[in-house]
Structure 1
Amino acid sequence: MTRALIIGAPRSGSGKTSVTIGLLRAFARRGLRVRGVKSGPDYIDPGFHHAATGRAGLNLDSWAMEPDLVAQLLGQAAEDADLLLIESAMGLFDGIAGGEGRTGAAADLARLLGIPVLLVLDVSGQSQTAAAVAIGFRHYDPDVRMAGVVLNRAGSERHVRLSTAAIEDTGMSVVGAVLRNSELSLPERHLGLVQASEHPAIQGHIDRLADVMETSLDLDAILSLTVELPASTGSTQAHLPPPGQRIAIASDAAFTFLYPHLGSHWRAVGAELVPFSPLADEAPPADCDVCWIPGGYPELHAERIAAADRFRQGLARFAAEKPVHGECGGYMVLGERLEDAEGVSHAMTGLLSHATSFARRKMNLGYRQATLLADGPMGVAGQVIRGHEFHYASVSDPGTDEAFATIADGTGQPIGRSGGRRGQVTGTFFHAIARVTQ
């Protein structure tokens, strides 16, 4: 039977990712089959979870995914694992007004699945006050159980003693403390953390994190906090179906953002994912029946993409006969031009007529609900799909194409038309996570 635990914190930046990655590797060293899960629409952390365990990561999102799909994905993840560690996004209770149990917060998963929480508290700049924070978490929602506390970024052993005594006086258990150490932080880049595949010495870094967790935390106590997962009773109905039987998928340093659950489901129902690299000047294989260009960092590689003539010409030939879809970074590459951070404009594929700019930075972040305006690789006209946007690039020229979808935010407030559609080519800044079936 697979056991599970949620790792949460009061806010982003509390150190829960480093604690999670270190614990994943530490438990794997004990011979446990461990898998990491991330709550919310985060591409980066599942890559680190995979690197730490050798098992593919997973996203669970209570807003974008219907409860049946959450249960099905969790059950599937548990099939070859002894332990699932579910890392919260942002603060444990942070979400949107999406309805009961559909806020996107990791707390929803705790309620839905009955999984307790290991609370990571950054105690820098405080000691006994940490107990007040812990008490607040303990009583804020009686259906979300705080099973134990990890003190993070403690300044000294005396600091640890003061904080631990105050918290344990409230009846909560402290399972260890990690002292302040700048070397434990993961590097960052212009859109957030460096991806695991880009880290030059990722395995050594994960081993250092595991060493710290083994010496600083009581791993046996943490295991005792886990609970057995119930048998899965979920459904695959809300999964996004594969866009084709043989899917040519752009895959290299510029195009990496495909949710693990999408690729896994597409393969499970018989589709084949055939990778190709635009940065290596490769075109989508002609024997595929659809091309999918996921998000990533094309703005960092715009000059190479602009010079990749075989890719651009081959993609145009493919699009003349078969569907092509681009998400976020893929959407940028399908346009006429991409302006990089230095303000240099690069010619893209021109399969859609818009232009985008990374020089005019503006964060676009949030859940999105999209209603498709025409049949295409993502579904039929009228289909509603939930997902999100996260990008700093903007549309500098909207072009003349038909819109891909109408979108609303996570609370249902209309935003307007999104993306573009010309012939069999579609694209949007919107990242799809799952369908709406109800």
Structure 2
Amino acid sequence: MTARALIIGAPRSGSGKTSVTIGLLRAFQRRGVKVRGIKTGPDYIDPGFHQAATRLPGLNLDSWAMAPDLLRHLAREQAEDAELLLIESAMGLFDGIVTEPNRSGAASDLARLFGLPVLLVLDVSGQSQTAAAIACGFMHYDAQVKIAACILNRTGSERHKKLSGDAIEALGLPVVGTILRDPTLTLPERHLGLVQASEHPEMDAHIDRLADVMEQSLDLDAIFEAAKPFDIPTGSTERALPPPGQRIALAEDAAFTFLYPHIKREWRAMGADIVSFSPLADEAPPADCDICWLPGGYPELHPGRLAAAENFIAGIRTFAQTRPVHGECGGYMVLGEALEDADGVTHAMTGLLSHSTSFAKRKMNLGYRQASLLDACAIGTAGEMIRGHEFHYARVIDAGSDQPLAMIADGRGVEIGPSGAKRGHVSGTFFHAIARA
């Protein structure tokens, strides 16, 4: 089976791409189409919504962090036994960092690399014919990126729909539907973006409502036909992160949720066993595992429960005496001495590393990271370069006395300085590793 594929893009964040994508995924699934979702850029939340809509695993593809061969490999895997791939852009379609060609992180890189057309979602609230000028700009900005069709989102009336739609169609760009303004279609958010699919109390009902709207408002047949057969060369896993062990104890619960889908998938494909445990349920890492991994998440929302999880703390301390333990972002916070919550209350953490962090004294850290490892750890060997991403509001308030794990630079190579920590078998960083450079 050869899947068809289409990129869903927009001029900016907040245009409604995610709601449109989730609704389309469920609407096509209702029709019996085997449809899968992909999210571009460093986003580990939206693939969960894609999975909730399709009941099939989601995926991230990031053209800055992942070499082209790895992108091809992961994309072909996602397309296996699928009929349709909907690839949701992060931010605006062309938004990325200024770097080497087609390695900016923008969804437009994937449009060029895979030769895929774009379905443009235009939020036309507050404008009418001017929407055609924006569409015209997209049509002519990059000759290698084809805009196949357009959706008008958040229209206010039939007159608004006609004014906007007629002006765009006069350019020769098909309008495949319009969605009326409805604030209840918006997904809930919090300090790191959307609330995750698993936490939404009525997620399935909300997705069904989105699908109802898409079925009523959009021409699904035209959208399917706009997608292009997805026939790309075979890729390679050479730059993928190898499994850090044969049996990996992976923390998974409401406090530890942020692990890129491709990492777990590739670890399993390379022969690793992944054994989940829950620190919030006071579970220790299983003793028959040879490495423990604490991913990112929201430990700052559960510091009291984590501090009181005596079995977890004792178990991970015992584990760390003889085997590697690694923490990313939220996991790194839990590996430290203490975590100060939003109310300024300090909670003791595992103490496996000597730093302390605070969510009361917030500072946003956001961006791509190039990490040159200073010592061997779960994500690579000494001297190896790892590409990843950092997004958090917590900050280090006591750096502690451990050795730094890496020297980091931003996506353009501008040096930032030392990052993370290493002590004995234990390592941690605020950045999330995505792939080998």
For the superposition of Structure 1 and Structure 2, which TM-score range results when normalised by the shorter chain? Answer: over 0.9
Match for residue 84 of structure 2?
Answer: 83
Checking the alignment, whether the CA contact within 8 Å between 2:366 and 2:390 is kept in structure 1 is yes
- TM-superposed CA distance for 1:377, in Å, is 1.2
Match for residue 427 of structure 1?
Answer: 428
- Secondary structure (helix, strand or coil) at the match of 1:284 reads coil
How far does the alpha carbon of each residue in 1:25-45 deviate from its partner, in whole angstroms, 9 at most, with x for none? 000011111100000000110
1:66 aligns with 2:67: yes
Match for residue 350 of structure 1?
Answer: 351
- TM-superposed CA distance for 1:3, in Å, is 0.5
Query: Structure 1 CA distance, aligned partners of 2:81 and 2:231?
Result: 15
Match for residue 187 of structure 2?
Answer: 186
How far does the alpha carbon of each residue in 1:384-422 deviate from its partner, in whole angstroms, 9 at most, with x for none? 010100000000000000001110000000000000000
1:13 aligns with 2:14: yes
Query: Structure 2 CA distance, aligned partners of 1:411 and 1:338?
Result: 31
Match for residue 258 of structure 1?
Answer: 259
- TM-superposed CA distance for 1:230, in Å, is 1.2
Show the 5 A alignment for 1:98-137.
Answer: 98-137=99-138
The residue type equivalent to 2:188 in the other structure is: P
- Secondary structure (helix, strand or coil) at the match of 2:6 reads strand
- TM-superposed CA distance for 1:378, in Å, is 1.0
Query: Structure 2 CA distance, aligned partners of 1:170 and 1:52?
Result: 34
What's the RMSD between the two structures over aligned residues? 0.6
- Secondary structure (helix, strand or coil) at the match of 1:280 reads coil
- Secondary structure (helix, strand or coil) at the match of 2:257 reads strand
The residue type equivalent to 2:198 in the other structure is: S
Checking the alignment, whether the CA contact within 8 Å between 1:4 and 1:226 is kept in structure 2 is yes
Query: Structure 2 CA distance, aligned partners of 1:282 and 1:336?
Result: 19
The residue type equivalent to 2:207 in the other structure is: I
Query: Structure 2 CA distance, aligned partners of 1:79 and 1:299?
Result: 38
- TM-superposed CA distance for 1:231, in Å, is 3.9
How far does the alpha carbon of each residue in 1:274-293 deviate from its partner, in whole angstroms, 9 at most, with x for none? 00000000000000000000
How far does the alpha carbon of each residue in 1:175-223 deviate from its partner, in whole angstroms, 9 at most, with x for none? 0000000110101122211000000000000000000000000000101
Query: Structure 1 CA distance, aligned partners of 2:126 and 2:239?
Result: 45
Query: Structure 2 CA distance, aligned partners of 1:22 and 1:374?
Result: 45
Match for residue 417 of structure 1?
Answer: 418
Query: Structure 2 CA distance, aligned partners of 1:21 and 1:430?
Result: 28
- TM-superposed CA distance for 1:232, in Å, is 3.5
Structure 2, unaligned runs of 5 or more:
none
Match for residue 309 of structure 2?
Answer: 308
Query: Structure 2 CA distance, aligned partners of 1:389 and 1:188?
Result: 19
- TM-superposed CA distance for 1:346, in Å, is 0.3
1:36 aligns with 2:21: no
The residue type equivalent to 2:59 in the other structure is: L
Match for residue 320 of structure 1?
Answer: 321
Match for residue 287 of structure 1?
Answer: 288
- Secondary structure (helix, strand or coil) at the match of 2:161 reads helix
1:386 aligns with 2:387: yes
Query: Structure 1 CA distance, aligned partners of 2:235 and 2:229?
Result: 17
Query: Structure 1 CA distance, aligned partners of 2:59 and 2:417?
Result: 30
Show the 5 A alignment for 1:143-292.
Answer: 143-292=144-293
- TM-superposed CA distance for 1:376, in Å, is 1.5
The residue type equivalent to 1:379 in the other structure is: G
Query: Structure 1 CA distance, aligned partners of 2:358 and 2:13?
Result: 28
Query: Structure 2 CA distance, aligned partners of 1:8 and 1:281?
Result: 42
Match for residue 406 of structure 1?
Answer: 407
Query: Structure 1 CA distance, aligned partners of 2:435 and 2:201?
Result: 33
How far does the alpha carbon of each residue in 1:144-164 deviate from its partner, in whole angstroms, 9 at most, with x for none? 000000000000111001100
What is the percent sequence identity of the aligned residues?
Answer: 71
- TM-superposed CA distance for 1:80, in Å, is 2.2
How far does the alpha carbon of each residue in 1:339-371 deviate from its partner, in whole angstroms, 9 at most, with x for none? 000110000000000000000111100000001
After TM superposition, where is structure 1 displaced by more than 6 Å over at least 4 residues in a row? none
Checking the alignment, whether the CA contact within 8 Å between 2:353 and 2:402 is kept in structure 1 is yes
Query: Structure 2 CA distance, aligned partners of 1:191 and 1:109?
Result: 25
Query: Structure 2 CA distance, aligned partners of 1:193 and 1:403?
Result: 32
The residue type equivalent to 1:407 in the other structure is: I
Match for residue 94 of structure 2?
Answer: 93
Query: Structure 2 CA distance, aligned partners of 1:328 and 1:413?
Result: 21
Match for residue 58 of structure 2?
Answer: 57
The residue type equivalent to 2:82 in the other structure is: A
Query: Structure 2 CA distance, aligned partners of 1:330 and 1:274?
Result: 17
Query: Structure 2 CA distance, aligned partners of 1:159 and 1:428?
Result: 50
How far does the alpha carbon of each residue in 1:293-319 deviate from its partner, in whole angstroms, 9 at most, with x for none? 000000000000000010000000000
Query: Structure 1 CA distance, aligned partners of 2:144 and 2:370?
Result: 28
- Secondary structure (helix, strand or coil) at the match of 1:261 reads helix
Query: Structure 2 CA distance, aligned partners of 1:276 and 1:286?
Result: 11
- Secondary structure (helix, strand or coil) at the match of 2:382 reads coil
Checking the alignment, whether the CA contact within 8 Å between 2:114 and 2:232 is kept in structure 1 is no
Checking the alignment, whether the CA contact within 8 Å between 2:279 and 2:312 is kept in structure 1 is yes
- Secondary structure (helix, strand or coil) at the match of 2:372 reads strand
- Secondary structure (helix, strand or coil) at the match of 2:397 reads strand
Query: Structure 2 CA distance, aligned partners of 1:70 and 1:153?
Result: 33
Query: Structure 2 CA distance, aligned partners of 1:182 and 1:72?
Result: 38
Match for residue 45 of structure 1?
Answer: 46
Structure 1, unaligned runs of 5 or more:
none
Query: Structure 2 CA distance, aligned partners of 1:304 and 1:275?
Result: 18
The residue type equivalent to 1:357 in the other structure is: S
Query: Structure 2 CA distance, aligned partners of 1:84 and 1:138?
Result: 22
- Secondary structure (helix, strand or coil) at the match of 2:74 reads helix
**What TM-score results when the alignment is normalised by the length of structure 1?**
0.99
Checking the alignment, whether the CA contact within 8 Å between 1:74 and 1:232 is kept in structure 2 is no
Query: Structure 2 CA distance, aligned partners of 1:124 and 1:361?
Result: 33
